[in-house]
Structure 1
Amino acid sequence: MLNIHVNDDCLFVKSIDRTSIKKIYSIYTNSNDFKYATGIFQPIGYEQFANNLSQFIQRENVFFLHVRLHSGETIGLVKGIVIENDNIVWINSMVIDTPYQGRGYGRRVIGLLEDYFRCDSMARRIYLSVFKPNTVGVRFWKKCGFDDCNQFPGRKTVKYNDTVQIMYKLL
């Protein structure tokens, strides 16, 4: 797992550790609000969550980040992968917990990560997929400057289906 630690005057965004796993798990148990962002549509037990997480973070080019306020409150998570050969970052999940939404924290997190990946990993693009029925998510990503994607590097076109929208942003 990549070791990432970025912050501003309000937020810490850093790689998960043993102390953050249970706090992040509470977000995954809220499958009603975050099913589109996490891909978890039914409640998941802690053992299964911990096992899935353990398998994911063993990979070298992935990141799983804990988002918290300077006061210590866990407010979200970001999960993804860096594809170094193509200078691409792929965000798999990004969640800001419900009580903290609408306050600009999500945009701040994305801004911090854009700066980090632009400078530290030489990434040139960030990609993500969002479920089209998740209109709040689609609006959020557009506010962050992401556009619909119709072409990947090295491929002619991206084929869309009825439920998934691929988006990207140049860094």
Structure 2
Amino acid sequence: MIDHGLHDRTGRRVTLRDVDDENWRAVADIAPRDDQRAYVAALAARYLLLSTRENVWTSLAVCADDTVVGHVMWGVDDEDGAYWLGGMLIDAAEQGRGLGRAVLRTVTAWLAAQPECRVIRLSYHPENTAARRLYESAGFTPTDAAEGDEVVAEFTPAATPARP
């Protein structure tokens, strides 16, 4: 379990847990709001399949107390060793409670603490202004690189410490 002592606005403790036999169905059922489907998968099940089939990503269940409320995945780029975040999705019914910020800060702090981690990257659609604001508030800076039609942003742990 990854726990940095963060809570959502309702006081629930936010943790990241391995996807396992007990929680994978709840993770697979996580779905965004309808207006977010242009930017993320319609269900977290797609991200779970990427994690199991491509050997690039590792999926984590996002929990508020003991309830699965989202999904996030991470991986390491074989070419340059950069750590990547992907598939961050908070269930539509759970949004607006500060979970996204708590998840981003928790996973970023955990990845930054890995001995080999020099940079953390993620990508987002340029029209997804809510995601851009969230990522920039956590210290991610847009780069000149692109991942398909998405903006690549990065966080350098040594330059900007992750705030819990």
TM-score normalised over the length of structure 2: 0.74
* Greater per-residue strand proportion: 2
**Whole-angstrom CA distance in 2 between matches of 1:83 and 1:31:** 30
Mapped to 2, the partners of 1:60 and 1:53 lie a distance apart of: 11
Q: Distance in 2 between matches of 1:165 and 1:159?
A: 5
| Secondary structure of the corresponding residue to residue 13 of structure 1 | strand
> What RMSD in Å do the two structures reach over aligned CA positions?
2.9
Using the TM superposition, give the Cα deviation of residue 139 of structure 1 relative to its aligned residue in structure 2, in angstroms: 1.6
Cα 1:61/1:83, change in 2 over 3 Å? same
Larger radius of gyration: 1
Aligned pairs for 1:21-60 (under 5 A) are 21-28=24-31, 30=32, 32-40=34-42, 49=45, 53-54=48-49, 56-57=51-52, 60=55
Matched, 1:66 2:61: yes
Please show how residues 15-164 of structure 1 align to structure 2 within 5 Å: 15-28=18-31, 30=32, 32-40=34-42, 49=45, 53-54=48-49, 56-57=51-52, 60-70=55-65, 72-83=66-77, 86-150=80-144, 158=145, 163-164=149-150
Identical pairs, percent: 20
Cα distance per residue 1:47-102 (max 9 Å; x no partner): xx48x7356325555210100112x2221110231236633111121112234333
Aligned residues: 150
- Structure 2: distance between partners of 1:160 and 1:15: 26
What TM-score does the superposition give when structure 1 sets the normalisation length? 0.71
* CA distance in structure 2 between the aligned counterparts of 1:55 and 1:98, rounded to whole angstroms: 21
More helix by share: 1
Q: Hey, what does 1:154 align to over in structure 2?
A: none
Query: 1:18 aligns to what SS in structure 2?
Result: coil
